[in-house]
Amino acid sequence: MELTTLWFALIAFFWVGYFVLEGFDFGVGMLLVLIGRSEPERRAMLRTIGPVWDGNEVWLIVAGGATFAAFPEWYATLFSGFYLALFFILVALIVRGVGIEYRNKHGGQEWRRRSDIAIAVGSFVPALLWGVAFANIVAGTPIDANGQFTGNLLTLLNPFALLGGLTTLLLFLTHGLVFLVLKTDGEIRERARRQVLPVGVITAVIAVLFLAWAQVLHGDPASSVIAVLAALAFVGALIASRLRHEAWAFIGSGATIALAVISLFVALFPDVMPSSLDPAWSLTTTNAASTPYTLSIMTVVAVIFAPLVILYQGWTYWVFRKRVTVSRATPEG
């Protein structure tokens, strides 16, 4: 395998890890003011993601850093053309982080209410805009012969991209509901369980429309098969939730997100940013890549440190694997 192909696959892997793990964080954040009916219940909901949410964001940092080092042309075009969208995502992530970390630093009810709104909005915006961004990448953006993005923010807010944003939003919302069923007990768990099926059905319809449209625009047999597998995994997740097999439901919703992201990357390859103006101007794994020497050094570093990071994060999830109950969710928790 060529190093450019290897690093394209690794970057896809980092994005899969980010969306699967951060996806339920976003879902819980959006559900905070909908499922949590009292202060103890909302503390319990936040405690389910408290030990892991900031670690999950490491996947985003690694994905961005790997893109910068392995495909600098891709990074430059992406971050310049999508500047405003990425800026909104960054601000939302900061607002959400501040809300989570400082929610219990003040005893006032109004302070906590505003923090809850910050967490919900800070989860909603990235959940929507990440889908918008990736849908635009797959569909193609106006890139000229110099690799420069020639559109604007409104260019990115096209019907296909907005459908992509709605898809990720609903997938993360369903993933968050399934996670709450897995990690909580009592009334929170039952409320979340009752919402999995209705929200899941709506999500399934929107996701099928988006993946089908993506296949029409930039699909191939391999990505089509993976998209079908994603749909089957989601159906399995809903059935498992209905049968009260919480762990399998969570595995199914996570597999759905993973397979959907993989499907988009497979459809994209060997392009990294297709040009809607002229296919000859598209950025590919070849013309957007760093030098072979740079990729070789990066590969050695990744082989050494990536397994250690994955093992550490897996250990973290194992340590905090127990259910969270309202009675155990202390103000400090």
Question: Distance of alpha carbon 199 from its chain centroid, rounded?
Answer: 18
What's the whole-number mean pLDDT along residues 28-44?
A: 91
User: Is the Cβ–Cβ distance between 122 and 93 less than 8 Å?
Assistant: yes
Query: What are the backbone dihedrals phi and psi of residue 157, each rounded to the nearest 5 degrees, phi first?
Result: -95, 55
Confidence of residue 333 (pLDDT cuts 50, 70, 90): very low
What's the whole-number mean pLDDT along residues 114-118?
A: 93
User: What are the C-alpha distances in Å from 325 to residues 14, 211, 243?
Assistant: 32, 37, 22
Q: Is pLDDT above 80 for 48?
A: yes
Q: Is pLDDT above 90 for 167?
A: yes
pLDDT at 154: 83
What's the whole-number mean pLDDT along residues 7-13?
A: 95
| Residues shown for the chain | 333
Q: Is pLDDT above 70 for 330?
A: no
User: Is the Cβ–Cβ distance between 140 and 274 less than 8 Å?
Assistant: yes
What's the whole-number mean pLDDT along residues 92-114?
A: 88
The domains of the chain are located at: 3-328
pLDDT at 183: 93
pLDDT at 104: 83
Q: Could you give the 3-state DSSP secondary structure of residue 185?
A: coil
Q: Is pLDDT above 90 for 221?
A: no
What's the whole-number mean pLDDT along residues 318-332?
A: 73
CA distance 267 to 221: 9
List, in order, residues 6 or more apart from 65 with CB less than 8 Å away: none
The percent of residues in the chain predicted with pLDDT above 90, rounded, is 65
Beta-strand relationship, 283-284 and 271-273: antiparallel
Reply yes or no on domain 3-328 having CATH 3.40.309.10: no
pLDDT at 133: 92
Dmax (CA) for the chain in angstroms is 61
What's the whole-number mean pLDDT along residues 81-103?
A: 92
Q: Is pLDDT above 90 for 122?
A: yes
Q: Is pLDDT above 90 for 87?
A: yes
User: What are the C-alpha distances in Å from 320 to residues 22, 47, 92, 204, 324?
Assistant: 16, 10, 26, 30, 9
Q: Is pLDDT above 80 for 107?
A: no
pLDDT at 135: 92
CA angle at 167 for the pair 163 and 172, rounded to the nearest 5°: 150
pLDDT at 313: 87
Higher pLDDT pick, 37 / 15: 15
* DSSP codes joined into one string, 44-95: HHHHHHTTTHHHHTHHHHHHHHHHHHH-HHHHHHHHHHTHHHHHHHHHHHHH
CA distance 72 to 128: 26
Higher pLDDT pick, 80 / 196: 196
> pLDDT, tens digit, for every residue of 231-249?
999 999 999 999 999 999 9
Query: Left (φ > 0), alpha (ψ -120 to 50) or beta: where does 244 sit?
Result: left
Closest CA to 115 of 186, 32, 31: 32
Q: What is the CA radius of gyration of the chain?
A: 20
What's the whole-number mean pLDDT along residues 317-325?
A: 87
User: Is the Cβ–Cβ distance between 98 and 316 less than 8 Å?
Assistant: no
Closest CA to 125 of 206, 26, 25: 26
Q: Is pLDDT above 90 for 332?
A: no
Confidence of residue 328 (pLDDT cuts 50, 70, 90): low
User: If you average pLDDT over every residue of the chain, what do you get?
Assistant: 90
Confidence of residue 65 (pLDDT cuts 50, 70, 90): very high
CA distance 36 to 155: 37
CA distance 115 to 104: 9
